[in-house]
Amino acid sequence: MHQRVRTEFWGYAPHEQLDNEALIDEKYQGIRPAPGYPACPDHTVKKELFELLDAPAIGMTLTEGYAMLPTAAVSGFYFSHPDSRYFGVGKVSRDQVESYAQRRGVSVEQAQRDLASNLGYNA
């Protein structure tokens, strides 16, 4: 599916023909950061993503811990810009968590739970 986004749906790489090894080595243009990984450590954003895409209509659901079902499912945010690069969110400070909580409309305590592995302080 990832390759079809570039070659067919968005069409910015219509003649791209990458084998599995090249795909695994990320030899394509753009990035696909996924919730729960270093560039997007908060798994809870999957809830809004699933609502936006109406994922249950095609049989996809989320567990209470935000794992996707069926287990072979994947999700991510596609960025096609040629200068897009993967990155990792480092440790975040208390004021950053407070700002994030406000922007997400959740309590600071909830944001701390959602970002626990990235906290740069003891909550």
Q: 6-15, 72-81, 100-109: which has the highest mean pLDDT?
A: 100-109
Count of CB atoms within 10 A of residue 41's CB?
A: 17
104-117 tens-digit pLDDT? 999 999 999 999 99
76 secondary structure, DSSP code? -
For residue 14, say if its preceding peptide bond is cis, omega within 30 degrees of 0. Answer: no
pLDDT in tens, 33-73: 999 999 999 999 999 999 999 999 999 999 999 999 999 99
pTM: 0.77
> Is the separation of the CB atoms in 73 and 25 below 8 Å?
no
57 to 54, 86, 97, 105, 122: CA distances (angstroms): 6, 30, 33, 26, 41
Domain boundaries, the chain: 90-123
